[in-house]
A = this chain, B = another copy of it.
């Protein structure tokens, strides 16, 4: 769901207007998809999803669109799983967990004392990112089952 600063639900169109981005058809579709998704999709995932219903959609447009969203702070870009960027609609500040087995990315909401810092070591902070890598609960369970056999 997309909300404004007061946590009131607003449309994708209003969200783009609020950030001075012209709400074109393609941009709305990208934003709507991201706001519904919890899989932190790659450019390719977004493209494949949208081209299914919008045959003229191009990857360049997905790249362009994501770049403008990231610039405006509506979407954040995660470089945590190898060489492919992943994207998420910006909501509450949180950390991530990346599973080495299944490569899924999960949101981890935990208190972080650095989340409110404005600067560190004399450097001005604009963004904070925290992530964990390991084995997710699902994969750990599957492994346990396999070993029992």
What residues make up the interface of A, taking CB atoms closer than 8 Å to B?
A: 79-83, 85, 95, 97, 99-100, 106, 108, 110-114, 117, 119-137, 140
Contacts and interface: CB of A to CB of B under 8 A. Distances in A.
26 contacts: A79-B79, A79-B81, A80-B129, A83-B83, A95-B114, A97-B121, A97-B123, A97-B125, A106-B121, A108-B120, A110-B114, A111-B113, A112-B114, A114-B132, A117-B132, A119-B134, A123-B134, A123-B140, A124-B134, A124-B136, A125-B133, A126-B135, A127-B133, A128-B130, A128-B132, A129-B133
B121 A108 contact: yes
Contact of A134 (B79, B80, B127): B127
Given A79-B83, A83-B83, A85-B83, A120 B110 contact: yes
Contacts of A121: 97, 106, 108, 137
Contact of A123 (B123, B128, B132): B132
Nearest to A77: B82
A12 B92 CA distance: 44
